[in-house]
Chains A and B, each alone.
Chain A
Amino acid sequence: SQVLNNATQKSPVDYTQPREYRIGGITVSGASFLDPNALISVTGLKVGDEITVPGEDISQAIQKLWAQGIIGDVDVTISRIEGDQIFLDFHLKERPRLSRFTFSGINKSQQEALNDKISLQRGRTVNDATLNSTRTVIKNYFAEKSYLNAKVNMTQRPDSLLPNSVVLDIKIDKGPKVKIGEIDIVGNEAFSDRKLEKQMKKTKEKSLINTFSSSKFQRSEYENDKQLLLDFYNSEGYRDAIIVSDSVYRISDDRLGIRITVDEGRRYYYRNITWKGNYLYDDEYLSKVLGIEKGDVYNRQELDKRLTYNPTGIDVSALYQNDGYLFQSIDPVEVRVEGDSIDLEMRVYEGPQATIKNVVITGNTKTSEHVIRRELRTLPGEKYSRDDLIRTRNELAALGYFDPETIGLQPIPNQADGTVDIHYSVVERPNDQISLSGGWGGPIGAVGTVGLTLNNFSTRKFWDIKEWTPVPSGDGQRLSLNVQANGKYYQSYSMSFTEPWLGGRKPHSLTVSLFKTVYRRPDFLEQESKLDVNGASVSLGRRLQWPDNYFNITHSVSYSRYNLDNYRQLFQDFTDGTSNSISFVNTLSRYSIDNPTYPTRGSQLSLSVNLTPPYSLFKDNAGKYEFIEFNKWMFDASYFINLAGKLVLNTRAHFGFLGKYDSDATIGPFERFKLGGSGLGGGNVFVGTEYIGLRGYDDESVFEGNDPSLLQAGGIAYNKFVMELRQLISPSPAATIYGLAFLEAGNNFGSYDNYSPFKLYRSAGIGARIFMPAFGLLGFDYGWRLDDVPGQPNAKQGMFHFIIGQQLR
């Protein structure tokens, strides 16, 4: 609105002649609760200001008053004009303001959900528009929960505490839940009603068959499902299919009916596919990559997928895009339609090769940029390649600092100079893990554990007090501390530190770890027995370029010193003295998994050899315990195949062999294997026992043969094979959840004489996993044993296993 002309005004405003005035005075009328000076201050006008009437200044003042949301209406009039002085009056209509609002008829969590949705603001006036929008929001909220008949009743009453204020009582009557009683599809000949109803994902009939699926009616989902129905027809070659009409009607108080009439049209097939404009690849090759043949059912969706981007296989554009041809495009044109046959002409534009100019990273609120940039495979000056982009995405996901589902890759082409900028966006997620636990540790009683793993630590910022929020982070270093104790009898301290880019110049990782464990046992003869183990290890990791750049190699050396004092449990005939273990571990691995929390494709292979020097070849058996010797070979392979959507098949194979250098010697107690259960054994930490899960069997219970001493000592060779089908349930970064079904088989052997790789104990089962950044992976499985383990005739047939942490084996 603008300045109004009214009868009492002596010199009315001429709207064709804007004039400059100086404000001589401002008054506010009609306000009985609001403060005039505060209102004038809000208008932004002041006595002495130069304004144009009519003009922008007064409109703006009115807008500012409205913006406060505290008035019912406002008129501006000129009370008088003296020379170039103008006197303005703001005439207000006051309206009661909302001081509080209350809900009734619904529960607390619904109230909280509604509080976030409705636009009522305390301190603002209540008008019909806000009331209406509030009513709509509440109705929509309950409609989504299938209370289609919810009634909303809003009453205002004056607030006794505040003048000119009202309290709004919102009364809600949800009414009965309304579900879909019947779905009727008319006009379909090619497909059955059932087949078509199955295409609608969220709109389902309430019936005994559909007990597990919801039969809510949601308008937006319904519209979506109608499109899915048409998509289905289109994918089957019925490219002319339409929904002629559809109606939603009420059957009873709590049941709806839906009737959809379709016109299917005819089914079409591909006839000739020709290519035009392609110089880099010949027609035949492009047709082969496209993979559509004459006589195939016409399916535009599938065609587009195979032309532009096919997440589960190859596509034509990948040929171009992986070689820099970013500007490439293919336009399929229907050149002839005859009867049920369609001729396609693919019009290819190849364009120039694009080189990368700028690479920009955003969203790293914690991680330093160089930590991210050094991992990127898209380098300035290189040819653009879509594969490099996807590879980079996977590697950023593998760092673990970012939510893998929201890593953004955006090539921004500059067609003018044939370059492309690449924008990466990341969302940080917490990935430090704290563990606090207490448990019963067998003969020594209660054991408490405190553990802390910082996965994105920064030693560089260690001395800067400002960076302690709560710990200095962002440089990609890993620090892990762990203390386990039960007072006098058992204490274990360990610490490890990893720098992924030693010196910051090459991706060579360095890990240093230290540990100390003390174990005491009270003896009957007042003589204490004690084992004290101290150790350290250093390992260096390197990325390889050959055989391909997914390979890594790690070398490590570790040393442990065992001090025995009247301690019988480690060796039978050596109870006092010192024993040393020096070992060299070399691991060659290949890692190409797309997402560490929920892998959908890629593989993980690892071959590891753990050797001690072969002392016995130089010296006789004399110092048998002085220097421990063994050699150990481990092989693990894991493959992920995406079957459909988020359904993934994981197949794994694992082998481990323990050997000796001297053919006369026996293999010692060190580094042996124990198989069975969840694979979470923590029994004998001193001898480096390898615990491997085999679900459906008791923990550490599976071994070949009848020798019960193996149960204690562990085997020297094992193998295990797993097939696991996984389905993602929740991809949320706060809690990634998936379900699984498995078949697995394994065995553990005490000697190479009875080793036979195909003699296996089998099991089957189902389970679920949840990954939360602060706790890592947790889960449970229920496994059924399919074979009997000799010597354990009464073992249970089925059992639960709890799983903590990501397990390689």
Chain B
Amino acid sequence: CSNYQKLLKSNDVQQKYAAAVKYYEKGDYYRASELLDAVTPLLTGTEQAEDALFYQANANYELGNYLLSETYFRNFYTTYPRSPKAEKAMFMYVKSAYNQSPDFEQDQASTLTAMESVQEFIQRYPESEHVAEANEILENLGRKLDQKAFDSAKLYYKIKYYKAAVVALTNFQREFPSSPFAEEAAYLKVESQYEYAKQSVPSKQEERYYEVVDYYQNFVDQYPESEFTRTAGQIYDNTLAELERIKKEKQNQANS
């Protein structure tokens, strides 16, 4: 231990680097990274520079410092694009970015940057053995954005802001047409519009119920065999009944 402290303070670059490699190989990534942080800038242009940068990147990855490992791996594959390790480095860069992407409920800025990096990787190394994993990462990241968009639209339905729900679900349908949640979104739009029409002032109801009919027809056209078909059908029946009632009321008014 004291040996390590002495090494940290020493100015001997070669000795420090050798020790760093030893710690790295033993799996003591913390000490390896501390030593490498001190020596890598001084090693540039030497034989060891390439390996040193890769070790530094990977040690930080292993420690879970994904922000740092992302930077180091990127430095590696931009500085040594012809290195045999460049492909691996770029893939690790992708994984570093992927690991920084939070749960779908939080801000997705890093999810977007991670997606860009995966696409870049697949484009550059289409033959790589990591392509399958990269595609999987891409899919996971995309699903997060999907889920986030759907959840935030659905929230308005949940907290009974039905008018907002219809607008938000429409936005969702437009932006994520092939989402796995598209079916549920289409159904929720029918229900939200129905609830919205129900709460509306009588003078606006007819128009809004007709929109329910519209949304319902879109829903059954697109998803004829949906798990929501039954409930949607009920809403449709209710809507038709309401429209019938409004029509009668109008006639009565006209007659009187």
**Taking beta carbons and an 8 Å cutoff, which residues of A are in contact with B?**
33-35, 37-39, 41-42, 44-46, 64, 67-71, 97, 99-100, 121-124, 159, 161-162, 165, 356-358, 361-370, 373-374, 379-382, 474, 504-506
Contacts and interface: CB of A to CB of B under 8 A. Distances in A.
Contacts of B148: 369
A39 B167 CA distance: 59
Interface of A is mostly: loop
A44 B106 contact: no
B107 A370 contact: no
B171 A505 contact: no
A617 B175 CA distance: 67
Interface residues of B, number: 38
B42 A161 contact: no
B12 interface: yes
Q: Give the interface centre of B12, B40, B159 by most chain A CB atoms within 10 Å.
A: B159
Contact of B158 (A34, A366, A505): A505
Given A34-B46, A161-B12, A380-B156, A46 B82 contact: yes
Interface of B: 11-13, 40-47, 49-50, 79-83, 102, 105-107, 109, 148, 151-152, 155-156, 158-161, 163-164, 166-168, 171
Contacts of A363: 107
B11 A162 contact: yes
B79 A64 contact: yes
Contacts of A505: 158-160
B60 to A, nearest CB: 18
Nearest to A369: B105
Contacts of B45: 33-35, 38-39, 42, 68, 70-71
Contacts of A100: 11
8 contacts: A67-B79, A123-B43, A161-B12, A361-B107, A362-B109, A368-B105, A379-B156, A381-B166
Given A68-B44, A368-B105, A374 B79 contact: no
Given A35-B49, A506-B159, 16 more contacts: A35-B46, A38-B49, A38-B50, A42-B80, A67-B79, A122-B41, A161-B13, A362-B107, A363-B107, A369-B105, A369-B151, A369-B152, A370-B155, A374-B155, A374-B159, A381-B164
Contacts of B160: 505-506
Nearest to B105: A368
A370 B46 contact: no
A358 B156 CA distance: 12
Contacts, number: 113
B49 A124 contact: no
Contacts of B161: 379
B97 to A, nearest CB: 16
B11 A370 contact: no
Contacts of A358: 171
A371 B84 CA distance: 47
Contact of B80 (A41, A124, A162): A41
Contact of B106 (A34, A41, A365, A373): A365
A38 B46 contact: yes
A474 B106 contact: yes
A369 B106 contact: yes
B44 A379 contact: no
A505 B11 CA distance: 63
Contacts of A71: 45
Contacts of A366: 106
B168 A380 contact: yes
Contacts of B83: 41
Contact of A123 (B44, B81, B109, B168): B44
Nearest to A71: B45
A123 B12 CA distance: 14
Given A37-B47, A380-B164, A382-B164, A123 B41 contact: yes
A363 B106 CA distance: 8
Contact of B47 (A35, A379, A474): A35
A124 B40 CA distance: 11
Contacts of A44: 80-82
Given A370-B155, A379-B163, A41 B82 contact: yes
Nearest to A366: B106
A161 B12 CA distance: 7
Contacts of B159: 374, 504-506
Given A365-B106, A369-B148, A374-B159, A380 B44 contact: no
